[in-house]
């Protein structure tokens, strides 16, 4: 009977031996020129093949056997991720808030593996998920690989697994500039006609405010904000945090319609979940091919076309102003930014 990949094997050793049946597992691959050769770890030896097969079955089920830990001691993929993150945060370099958000977002893309025991995970469980995101940016794919390698490395160091399932993981992604494309005027008109739809309203708000999708999902708007014509919000970078975000007059009407009692515009959910369950089905139904971040790119494009000064555009989008004179000594009031965004 053919055993599953990564399960291990039972072989009969040559010569006259009291215990000729050996249980072994693959620990890696070595190369000699173009020829690949597996390396093994031998776990135990038996007089009878059936006893060796029973031992191997117990090894894979996680029961307590020699040179193996019980299943109750083996952490899940989620457990190892949490411990690895704690280790990184405790390191001298630590973790910035932005880096932590990025790693958490990458980890959530492996949701199917979260409850799996770490010793049951193989290369074939990881690679297909990474390939699913090959059309995403290089940084997105790179963070996914970082998470996988971090989890596998931690599991090897602490003896939960003997073979690094991340060793041959592949993935590149594409350049960010090749991923995002602005909405066309025809598509924007289509969104306005469908503005009662949640996804359409979401896209329109990003187009006419420049908010990042993740910022918009957690944004709260008060009556005072609507009266003033701007909100104070934003995240991710120092330049983007607590910035003045002007509200286009037409967008204020949408906000009034969808705003909940607590001021939030959209349900508290992750961007990945919103994109998978809401955004993607809507875009497919409408014959459009866009990512949630494309609204922000559209806003930047429309502001440039409207002749809004670069410094003002950076303030609205939450980009860093590198020029000392412009950034430090030129103070732009909310009214100026509201006037700018109203040109779109």
Residue 164 has pLDDT above 60, yes or no: yes
Is residue 3 situated within a structural domain? no
Q: Which residue has the higher pLDDT, 189 or 174?
A: 189
Distance CA 48, CA 52 (A): 7
Is residue 267 situated within a structural domain? yes
Is residue 2 situated within a structural domain? no
86 and 152 in one domain?
yes
266 and 287 Cβ atoms separated by less than 8 Å: no
- Mean pLDDT across the stretch 55-80? 70
pTM of this structure: 0.54
Kind plus residue range of the DSSP H or E element containing 42: strand 35-46
334 and 194 in one domain?
yes
191 and 44 in one domain?
no
164 φ, ψ (degrees, to nearest 5): -80, 105
Please report the pLDDT score of residue 143 as a whole number.
92
- Mean pLDDT across the stretch 257-268? 89
Is residue 37 situated within a structural domain? yes
160 and 92 in one domain?
yes
149 and 233 in one domain?
no
Please report the pLDDT score of residue 69 as a whole number.
47
Percent of the chain scoring above 70 in pLDDT: 85
Question: Count of domains in the chain?
Answer: 3
Residue 146 has pLDDT above 50, yes or no: yes
Confidence of residue 33 (pLDDT cuts 50, 70, 90): low
Distance CA 155, CA 75 (A): 9
Domain boundary among 154, 177, 200: 177
329 and 233 in one domain?
yes
Domain boundary among 131, 161, 177: 177
319 and 193 in one domain?
yes
Please report the pLDDT score of residue 190 as a whole number.
97
Residue 64 has pLDDT above 50, yes or no: no
Chain mean pLDDT for the chain = 85
86-135 pLDDT tens trace: 999 888 888 888 889 889 989 998 988 999 989 889 998 999 888 887 76
Distance CA 231, CA 246 (A): 7
Residue 249 has pLDDT above 90, yes or no: yes
Please report the pLDDT score of residue 197 as a whole number.
96
41 and 29 in one domain?
yes
- Mean pLDDT across the stretch 129-150? 86
Distance CA 15, CA 11 (A): 13
45 and 24 in one domain?
yes
195-216 pLDDT tens trace: 999 999 999 999 999 999 988 9
Structural domain harbouring 87: 77-177
Is residue 1 situated within a structural domain? no
Is residue 44 situated within a structural domain? yes
5-19, 206-220, 301-315: least confident range: 5-19
Q: What's 225's domain CATH number?
A: 1.10.443.10
302 and 184 in one domain?
yes
Domain boundary among 177, 200, 217: 177
129 and 113 in one domain?
yes
Query: Which tokens belong to 213?
Result: 């999708």
Residue 37 has pLDDT above 80, yes or no: no
Distance CA 2, CA 40 (A): 18
Q: What's 163's domain CATH number?
A: 1.10.150.130
86 and 60 in one domain?
no
Residue 20: which of 51, 56, 42, 47 has the closest Cα? 47
């Amino acid at each position: 009977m053919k055993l599953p990949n990564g399960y291990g094997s039972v072989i009969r050793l040559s010569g006259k031996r009291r215990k000729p049946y050996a249980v072994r597992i693959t620990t890696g691959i070595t190369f000699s020129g173009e020829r690949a050769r597996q390396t093994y770890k031998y776990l135990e030896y038996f007089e009878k093949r059936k006893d060796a097969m029973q031992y191997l079955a117990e090894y894979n089920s996680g029961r307590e056997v020699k040179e193996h830990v019980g299943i109750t001691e083996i952490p899940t993929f989620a457990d190892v991720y949490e411990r690895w993150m704690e280790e990184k945060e405790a390191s001298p370099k630590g973790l910035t808030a932005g880096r932590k958000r990025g790693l958490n977002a990458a980890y959530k893309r492996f949701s199917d593996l979260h409850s799996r025991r770490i010793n049951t995970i193989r290369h074939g469980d990881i690679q297909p998920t990474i390939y699913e995101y090959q059309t995403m940016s290089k940084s997105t794919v790179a963070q996914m690989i970082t998470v996988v390698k971090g989890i596998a490395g931690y599991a090897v160091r602490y003896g939960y697994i003997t073979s690094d399932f991340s060793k041959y993981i592949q993935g590149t992604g594409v350049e960010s500039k090749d991923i995002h494309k602005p909405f066309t005027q025809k598509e924007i008109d289509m969104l306005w006609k469908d503005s009662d739809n949640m996804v359409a309203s979401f896209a329109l708000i990003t187009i006419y405010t420049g908010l990042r999708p993740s910022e918009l999902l957690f944004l709260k708007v008060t009556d005072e904000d609507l009266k003033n014509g701007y909100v104070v919000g934003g995240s991710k970078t120092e330049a983007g945090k607590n910035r003045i975000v002007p509200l286009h007059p037409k967008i204020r009407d949408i906000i009034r319609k969808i705003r909940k009692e607590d001021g939030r515009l959209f349900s508290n959910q992750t961007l990945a979940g919103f994109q998978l369950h809401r955004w993607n089905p809507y875009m497919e139904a409408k014959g459009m091919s866009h990512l949630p971040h494309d609204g922000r790119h559209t806003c930047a494009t429309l502001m440039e076309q409207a002749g809004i000064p670069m410094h003002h555009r950076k303030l609205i989008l939450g980009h860093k102003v590198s020029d000392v004179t412009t950034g430090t000594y030129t103070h732009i009031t909310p009214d100026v930014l509201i006037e700018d965004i109203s040109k779109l």
